[in-house]
Structure 1
Amino acid sequence: MTSHASTPFQLTASERELLPSDEDVAQYAAHGWYLSKKLLTDEETETLEAASENFYAGHRDRTLPRHPPKIAYWEPDQGPVQRHNDYIHYEDDTIGRILRKPLIGAVAARLAQADEIRVFQSTMIYKPPRPGEQSNIVPWHFDRHYWSTCSSEDMLTAFIPFHDCDEELGTITMVDGSHRWKETGGNDETSLHFAERERAQLDQMLQENADFNNAELRKIPMNIPRGHMSFHHCRTYHGSGANVADRPRRAISLHLQDGPNHYQNFWRSDGEQVAYNHDVLVRRTASGVPDYSDPEFCPVLWRS
């Protein structure tokens, strides 16, 4: 794969007008989420949808050298469930090129107050129009739980629908201000991905943490116009409901890391060492640990 280190990190005057204002940055810091201005053109969202259909039909510009044991990777034989495909920015050049748009990185940099933003992971998601499909319901969780091998507390995620996205389609929903809560649980279960835990357990954990923080459980559905996207802090609780519309919900979850983020060892209480999917893919640092700045898998989106 070609390195993207030579990308010019520049914005046009019209793109600079799309950056979060000081008030927006303060709102993100207070509430843990941000709904952007229109960052993608209609042509770009059309291209994303067409490329996604090509991908589902079998197109790959490259494939991962190996599949990590916990990768989310829908194949047609899995049927009409909610589809998740990790590393879409790596396997599909058309989609990857749009996701590397410097404007997206610049918005994230403003929100995280960082000098550099890199891709951490990207997952393409297809939520079929099946109201009773249980896989469509994403339980309450926050991303930092399964990024325990990351050193940063400032990572964030952009949720990028390819179309207007509302509650009928099962849009992403934020728990307002939850990124500022203190946690009640320990490291063992919380370091597991939400797909490895029971939905009832996650619902209970959310309520317990709200009670512990004497906080109101204020759930904010993100009604996202086409070309816009939502951003949320790595500790913001979020989830999504059923798709009760007559059409699929198509989106990409683009996980982003700030420049200082690096690998850190993390063990559970039973001595098991936690691993992230990257750990069997990315290059090694001079000290022999996974390099989360590997440009093959974690390209730079923005550098100021």
Structure 2
Amino acid sequence: MTATHPVLAAEEQALLPSDEDVRHYAEHGWYLSKKLFTDDEVDELLAATDRYYAGERDRRLPARPPKLAYWEPALGDVQRHNDYVHYEHDVIGRILRKPLIGAVAARLAQAAEIRVFQSTLIYKPPISGEPSNIVPWHFDKHYWAALSSERMLTAFIPFHDCGEEMGTITMVDGSHRWQEIGADDTVVRHFADRDRDQLEVMLAENAAHNHAEIRKIPMVIPKGHMSFHHCRIYHGSGPNVSGRPRRAISLHLQDGGNAWREHPLSDGTLAGYNHDVLVRRTPDGRPDYADPEFCPVIWRDRAQQGG
């Protein structure tokens, strides 16, 4: 799973965030991209995920992480989440490693290198009353307590035009800049394992503490475009009432400086991440979040490439 890091073509350079876009991301915590995938690339991604759901894999995880999201047909017509699709399926992985995505992320995060951290394939069925379709307010850094970086970000990549009626991802504008209160060990658990009302209360309390308005911004994303959001911005999504599935990939990205760090929990154990049972170890025995098998580099600044 090696990756090359070519210089972007002129037409791709034009698709990068402008200086104003970078300022907007720093202030608001989200960015709606230009068209980074062609229609053919999106259609190829959709077809590959159809085959993935039908059971096609190029490799399997060598171990099963303790908190793996991994929908299987026996789970029924609920919202599907499948982690590590970039690792298990070569076509999906190749498309997600498009250098342009990394270059956009590098501009927003002000980083010289961008690596994949995780990829989650998502299918939200068109069932307005399905409880699993509602994603309550949360931010990604809560689950990444064992990670050193505060610059990580996520690209939300729908396979079609995606608006409010489909239950698109929705941001709480500027909330990545809030000072957090009321956090305890429960925040390191995935939102699906936490009380939805508790998460609503946490959002309201943090907004009040920061004297901030809760301003919810639905991401209206045309096919081939994607949204990017900061690892500390509150976000969620509502029901899919469109009459067709909402299909997407959530591509979590890390800057080159990210590494495992010790984060003790109240019971004396250390916070971790699913990678910890999969990735290689650093010389001092820590999980290596730069392991190219699971966390490949998708963009590196030319100065970092040796010219």
The corresponding residue for 1:172 is 169
* Alpha carbons 2:5, 2:298 under 8 Å: kept: no
Alignment partner of 1:35 out of 27, 32, 35: 32
Q: CA deviation at 1:192?
A: 2.0
After alignment, is 161-170 or 262-271 more displaced? 262-271
For structure 2, the 5+ residue unaligned runs are 302-307
Identity of aligned residues (%): 71
Within 2, Cα distance between the matches of 1:273 and 1:116?
27
The corresponding residue for 1:280 is 277
1:45-124 matches, cutoff 5 A: 45-124=42-121
Alignment partner of 1:207 out of 182, 204, 207: 204
1:283-298 matches, cutoff 5 A: 283-298=280-295
SS at match of 1:195: helix
1:216-235 matches, cutoff 5 A: 216-235=213-232
After alignment, is 273-282 or 20-29 more displaced? 273-282
Q: CA deviation at 1:270?
A: 1.8
The corresponding residue for 1:257 is 254
Within 2, Cα distance between the matches of 1:291 and 1:195?
27
Within 2, Cα distance between the matches of 1:23 and 1:74?
40
* Corresponding letter in the other structure for 1:134: P
Within 2, Cα distance between the matches of 1:186 and 1:175?
18
SS at match of 2:242: coil
User: TM-score, with normalisation over the residues of structure 1?
Assistant: 0.98
User: TM-score, with normalisation over the residues of structure 2?
Assistant: 0.97
SS at match of 2:116: strand
Q: CA deviation at 1:97?
A: 0.4
The corresponding residue for 1:4 is 2
For structure 1, the 5+ residue unaligned runs are none
Within 2, Cα distance between the matches of 1:261 and 1:240?
28
The reply on whether 1:196 has 2:197 as its aligned counterpart is no
* Alpha carbons 2:5, 2:300 under 8 Å: kept: no
After alignment, is 186-195 or 30-39 more displaced? 186-195
Q: CA deviation at 1:8?
A: 2.7
SS at match of 2:31: strand
Q: Which runs of 4+ in 1 moved over 3 A?
A: none
The corresponding residue for 1:266 is 263
Aligned length: 301
TM-superposition CA deviations, 1:215-249 (whole Å, max 9, x none): 00000000000000000000000000000011100
The reply on whether 1:146 has 2:143 as its aligned counterpart is yes
After alignment, is 270-279 or 56-65 more displaced? 270-279
* Corresponding letter in the other structure for 2:289: Y
SS at match of 2:123: strand
* Corresponding letter in the other structure for 1:169: M
* Alpha carbons 2:157, 2:250 under 8 Å: kept: yes
TM-superposition CA deviations, 1:168-187 (whole Å, max 9, x none): 00000000000000011234
